Amino acid sequence: MILIGHELISSEPFYKVASVEEIAKTPSNGVVLFEFEPALSAYCVEQKVTFALHVRHIKELIFANALGASYFVVDKSLALHAQKIADDYLFDGKVLLLSSDENEIEFTASHAIDGILFETGIKSL
């Protein structure tokens, strides 16, 4: 299970961005995170930037996979359904539950969700 942004675990930094200009300012070792936006996804693919999409609906999840996202960040209400779809269709990207609660580790592990992105692991530019 992937744990990103937990104080005990070293992980790659995630940077919340909203524009091409912010993506360009992101350190090369980071992962950019943004709301579902096909134009930003295309830019990341073109520039070979690792990116995560915060998806809120199954349709966005399907598109996020097709667009090449490495991570699909979901809220708890979507996590189980998103993980099942990602497993059934053999997505390359990983489903991450967005959480601020360390107690969600048990939920995530019990339901075989790929991992957790703790809100403390998301940096702003």
- Whether the CB-CB separation of 55 and 72 falls below 8 Å is answered with yes
* 3-state secondary structure string across 77-89: HHHHHHHHHHHHC
- Whether the CB-CB separation of 51 and 69 falls below 8 Å is answered with yes
Q: How high is the pLDDT of residue 48?
A: 96
Give the residue from 94, 98, 77 showing the smallest Cα distance to 85: 94
Q: How high is the pLDDT of residue 17?
A: 98
Q: How high is the pLDDT of residue 125?
A: 84
Phi-psi region of 100 (alpha: psi -120 to 50; beta: other; left: phi over 0): alpha
Side chain identity at residue 10, one-letter code = S
Q: Which residues pair with 14 in a beta bridge?
A: 31, 122
Mean pLDDT per segment of 10 residues, for the chain of length 125 residues? 95 96 95 96 96 97 97 98 98 98 97 98 92
Which position has the token pair 């995560």?
A: 52
Residue 77 tokens read as 């209400």
CATH topology of domain 2-124: TIM Barrel (3.20.20)
All structural domains of the chain with their residue ranges: 2-124
- For 76, other C-beta atoms within 10 Å of its C-beta total 14
